[in-house]
Amino acid sequence: MIIFQNVSKYYDNQTVLKNITFTVQKGEITFITGPSGAGKSTLLKLMYLAESPDEGDIVIGDFHLASLKEAQIPYLRRSVGVVFQDFKLINSITVFDNVALSLRIRGVKEREIRDIVSNALKKVHIRHLSDSYPTSLSGGEQQRVVIARAIAAEPLVILADEPTGNLDPNTSIDIIRVLRELNAQGATILIATHNRELFRGTGNRVLKLDGGNIVGEEAG
Protein backbone atom coordinates (compact mmCIF):
# COMPACT_ATOMS: atom_id res chain seq x y z
CA MET A 1 0.00 0.00 0.00
CA ILE A 2 2.85 2.38 0.90
CA ILE A 3 6.37 2.01 -0.46
CA PHE A 4 9.28 4.34 0.28
CA GLN A 5 12.22 3.52 -1.96
CA ASN A 6 15.52 5.31 -1.20
CA VAL A 7 13.75 8.58 -0.41
CA SER A 8 15.81 11.62 0.54
CA LYS A 9 14.74 15.15 1.35
CA TYR A 10 16.96 18.20 1.76
CA TYR A 11 16.12 21.68 3.01
CA ASP A 12 18.83 24.05 1.80
CA ASN A 13 22.01 22.24 2.86
CA GLN A 14 20.36 20.18 5.57
CA THR A 15 19.58 16.51 5.03
CA VAL A 16 16.20 15.96 6.64
CA LEU A 17 15.53 12.43 5.37
CA LYS A 18 18.29 10.21 4.03
CA ASN A 19 17.72 7.14 1.91
CA ILE A 20 14.50 6.06 3.59
CA THR A 21 13.19 2.66 2.50
CA PHE A 22 10.23 0.88 4.06
CA THR A 23 6.91 -0.69 3.14
CA VAL A 24 3.52 -0.59 4.84
CA GLN A 25 1.05 -3.30 3.91
CA LYS A 26 -2.62 -2.67 3.37
CA GLY A 27 -4.43 -2.89 6.70
CA GLU A 28 -1.27 -2.35 8.75
CA ILE A 29 -0.90 0.22 11.55
CA THR A 30 2.59 1.65 11.96
CA PHE A 31 3.98 4.16 14.41
CA ILE A 32 6.86 6.43 13.45
CA THR A 33 8.75 7.72 16.42
CA GLY A 34 11.90 9.66 17.14
CA PRO A 35 13.08 12.88 18.76
CA SER A 36 12.07 16.37 17.72
CA GLY A 37 13.61 17.19 14.36
CA ALA A 38 14.03 13.53 13.39
CA GLY A 39 11.99 14.09 10.24
CA LYS A 40 8.66 12.48 11.21
CA SER A 41 6.41 15.28 9.97
CA THR A 42 8.46 15.69 6.81
CA LEU A 43 8.09 11.98 6.06
CA LEU A 44 4.29 12.28 6.28
CA LYS A 45 4.23 15.51 4.24
CA LEU A 46 6.02 13.76 1.37
CA MET A 47 3.17 11.27 1.16
CA TYR A 48 0.60 13.82 0.04
CA LEU A 49 3.13 16.08 -1.66
CA ALA A 50 2.91 18.94 0.81
CA GLU A 51 6.67 18.61 0.24
CA SER A 52 8.37 16.86 -2.68
CA PRO A 53 11.04 14.22 -2.22
CA ASP A 54 14.42 15.16 -3.75
CA GLU A 55 15.44 11.57 -4.41
CA GLY A 56 13.74 8.20 -4.58
CA ASP A 57 10.14 7.20 -5.13
CA ILE A 58 7.08 6.88 -2.95
CA VAL A 59 4.17 4.70 -3.97
CA ILE A 60 0.74 5.13 -2.35
CA GLY A 61 -1.71 2.60 -3.76
CA ASP A 62 -1.45 3.14 -7.51
CA PHE A 63 0.12 6.58 -7.22
CA HIS A 64 3.84 6.72 -8.05
CA LEU A 65 4.77 10.12 -6.69
CA ALA A 66 8.07 10.51 -8.57
CA SER A 67 6.23 10.48 -11.90
CA LEU A 68 2.86 11.85 -10.77
CA LYS A 69 1.30 14.34 -13.17
CA GLU A 70 0.23 17.68 -11.71
CA ALA A 71 -3.40 16.90 -12.55
CA GLN A 72 -3.25 13.74 -10.41
CA ILE A 73 -2.24 15.55 -7.21
CA PRO A 74 -5.83 16.29 -6.08
CA TYR A 75 -6.68 12.61 -6.49
CA LEU A 76 -3.65 11.64 -4.43
CA ARG A 77 -4.62 14.11 -1.68
CA ARG A 78 -8.16 12.73 -1.68
CA SER A 79 -6.70 9.26 -1.12
CA VAL A 80 -4.73 10.32 1.94
CA GLY A 81 -6.66 11.20 5.09
CA VAL A 82 -4.74 13.50 7.42
CA VAL A 83 -5.15 13.99 11.16
CA PHE A 84 -3.02 16.67 12.76
CA GLN A 85 -2.72 17.92 16.32
CA ASP A 86 -4.15 21.36 15.59
CA PHE A 87 -7.66 20.41 14.67
CA LYS A 88 -8.39 22.89 11.87
CA LEU A 89 -12.13 22.45 12.25
CA ILE A 90 -14.40 25.24 11.07
CA ASN A 91 -16.00 26.62 14.23
CA SER A 92 -18.93 28.36 12.55
CA ILE A 93 -20.47 25.14 11.18
CA THR A 94 -21.67 21.98 12.90
CA VAL A 95 -19.76 18.75 13.40
CA PHE A 96 -21.87 17.16 10.66
CA ASP A 97 -21.06 19.97 8.21
CA ASN A 98 -17.34 19.82 9.03
CA VAL A 99 -17.25 16.15 8.15
CA ALA A 100 -19.47 16.69 5.08
CA LEU A 101 -17.50 19.63 3.68
CA SER A 102 -15.07 17.87 1.36
CA LEU A 103 -17.82 15.52 0.12
CA ARG A 104 -20.01 18.51 -0.77
CA ILE A 105 -17.12 20.19 -2.58
CA ARG A 106 -16.71 16.99 -4.52
CA GLY A 107 -20.40 17.00 -5.48
CA VAL A 108 -21.47 13.86 -3.62
CA LYS A 109 -25.29 13.67 -3.34
CA GLU A 110 -26.78 14.93 -0.06
CA ARG A 111 -28.51 11.63 0.64
CA GLU A 112 -25.22 9.75 0.30
CA ILE A 113 -23.45 12.37 2.41
CA ARG A 114 -25.95 11.78 5.21
CA ASP A 115 -25.09 8.09 5.31
CA ILE A 116 -21.33 8.55 4.94
CA VAL A 117 -21.09 11.26 7.62
CA SER A 118 -23.28 9.48 10.11
CA ASN A 119 -21.33 6.28 9.57
CA ALA A 120 -18.00 8.10 10.05
CA LEU A 121 -19.24 9.78 13.24
CA LYS A 122 -20.48 6.42 14.50
CA LYS A 123 -17.08 4.84 13.94
CA VAL A 124 -15.45 7.38 16.25
CA HIS A 125 -18.36 7.18 18.73
CA ILE A 126 -19.63 10.76 18.48
CA ARG A 127 -22.76 10.47 16.36
CA HIS A 128 -24.71 12.17 19.15
CA LEU A 129 -22.58 15.30 18.61
CA SER A 130 -23.58 15.68 14.96
CA ASP A 131 -25.42 19.00 15.48
CA SER A 132 -22.93 20.48 17.93
CA TYR A 133 -20.42 23.18 17.08
CA PRO A 134 -16.70 22.42 17.46
CA THR A 135 -16.12 25.05 20.16
CA SER A 136 -18.60 23.30 22.47
CA LEU A 137 -16.60 20.04 22.31
CA SER A 138 -13.69 18.81 24.39
CA GLY A 139 -10.28 18.48 22.76
CA GLY A 140 -10.67 14.71 22.48
CA GLU A 141 -14.12 15.08 20.88
CA GLN A 142 -12.77 17.62 18.41
CA GLN A 143 -9.99 15.25 17.46
CA ARG A 144 -12.61 12.54 16.85
CA VAL A 145 -14.35 14.92 14.46
CA VAL A 146 -11.05 15.37 12.63
CA ILE A 147 -10.69 11.60 12.39
CA ALA A 148 -14.29 11.26 11.15
CA ARG A 149 -13.55 13.90 8.51
CA ALA A 150 -10.48 11.94 7.42
CA ILE A 151 -12.29 8.60 7.13
CA ALA A 152 -15.41 10.03 5.44
CA ALA A 153 -13.45 10.34 2.22
CA GLU A 154 -12.58 6.61 2.40
CA PRO A 155 -8.87 7.24 1.98
CA LEU A 156 -6.32 4.59 1.05
CA VAL A 157 -4.31 5.55 4.09
CA ILE A 158 -4.75 7.67 7.21
CA LEU A 159 -1.78 9.77 8.29
CA ALA A 160 -1.75 11.12 11.82
CA ASP A 161 0.93 13.63 12.87
CA GLU A 162 1.10 13.92 16.67
CA PRO A 163 -2.67 13.35 16.76
CA THR A 164 -2.67 13.65 20.54
CA GLY A 165 -0.27 16.58 20.83
CA ASN A 166 -2.84 18.85 22.47
CA LEU A 167 -4.57 16.24 24.61
CA ASP A 168 -4.12 15.01 28.16
CA PRO A 169 -2.71 11.49 28.68
CA ASN A 170 -6.05 9.69 29.15
CA THR A 171 -7.68 11.39 26.18
CA SER A 172 -4.57 10.61 24.14
CA ILE A 173 -4.95 6.91 24.87
CA ASP A 174 -8.65 7.14 23.85
CA ILE A 175 -7.74 8.70 20.50
CA ILE A 176 -5.14 6.03 19.82
CA ARG A 177 -7.75 3.42 20.72
CA VAL A 178 -10.09 4.92 18.11
CA LEU A 179 -7.34 4.76 15.49
CA ARG A 180 -6.54 1.17 16.42
CA GLU A 181 -10.25 0.28 16.14
CA LEU A 182 -10.32 1.75 12.63
CA ASN A 183 -7.25 -0.32 11.83
CA ALA A 184 -9.02 -3.43 13.12
CA GLN A 185 -11.78 -2.60 10.61
CA GLY A 186 -9.21 -2.54 7.81
CA ALA A 187 -7.78 0.99 7.65
CA THR A 188 -4.09 1.45 6.83
CA ILE A 189 -2.68 3.94 9.33
CA LEU A 190 0.62 5.72 9.91
CA ILE A 191 1.01 7.64 13.16
CA ALA A 192 3.97 9.95 13.83
CA THR A 193 4.61 10.68 17.48
CA HIS A 194 7.46 11.32 19.88
CA ASN A 195 5.24 9.96 22.69
CA ARG A 196 6.22 6.35 23.35
CA GLU A 197 3.31 5.89 25.77
CA LEU A 198 0.96 5.82 22.80
CA PHE A 199 2.28 2.53 21.44
CA ARG A 200 3.84 0.93 24.50
CA GLY A 201 2.34 -2.52 24.98
CA THR A 202 0.27 -2.45 21.78
CA GLY A 203 2.50 -4.87 19.88
CA ASN A 204 2.09 -2.60 16.85
CA ARG A 205 4.94 -1.95 14.46
CA VAL A 206 7.18 1.00 15.38
CA LEU A 207 9.72 2.55 13.01
CA LYS A 208 12.38 4.59 14.79
CA LEU A 209 13.62 7.68 13.01
CA ASP A 210 16.61 9.73 14.10
CA GLY A 211 18.47 12.43 12.23
CA GLY A 212 16.60 11.55 9.03
CA ASN A 213 17.50 7.85 9.15
CA ILE A 214 15.46 4.80 10.10
CA VAL A 215 17.55 3.54 12.99
CA GLY A 216 15.42 0.61 14.03
CA GLU A 217 12.14 -1.17 14.08
CA GLU A 218 10.39 -2.79 17.01
CA ALA A 219 7.04 -4.01 18.25
CA GLY A 220 5.42 -1.47 20.58
Ligand X SMILES: Nc1ncnc2c1ncn2[C@@H]1O[C@H](COP(=O)(O)OP(=O)(O)OP(=O)(O)O)[C@@H](O)[C@H]1O
Residue from 41, 164, 188, 204 binding Mg ion (CB under 5 A): 41
Three-state secondary-structure class, residue 201:
coil
Strand partners, 5: 57
Q: Which helix (H) or strand (E) holds 76?
A: helix 73-78
Which one, of 88, 89, 95, 90, lies nearest residue 120 by Cα? 95
Q: Min. distance of Cβ 135 from ligand X in angstroms?
A: 26
Q: How far, in Å, CA of 132 to CA of 111, rounded?
A: 20
**Which one of 35-43, 61-69, 136-144, 176-184 is the stretch in contact with ligand X (CB under 6 A)?**
35-43
Alpha helices in 126-213 (DSSP H): 139-152, 169-184
Judged by beta carbon distances under 5 to 8 A according to partner kind, the member of Mg ion, ligand X, none in contact with residue 164 is none
Residue from 78, 125, 194, 208 binding ligand X (CB under 6 A): 194
Does position 38 bind ligand X by CB under 6 A?
Answer: yes
Judged by beta carbon distances under 5 to 8 A according to partner kind, the member of ligand X, Mg ion, none in contact with residue 37 is ligand X
* Residues near ligand X (CB under 6 A): 11, 16, 34, 36-42, 194
* Residues near Mg ion (CB under 5 A): 40-41
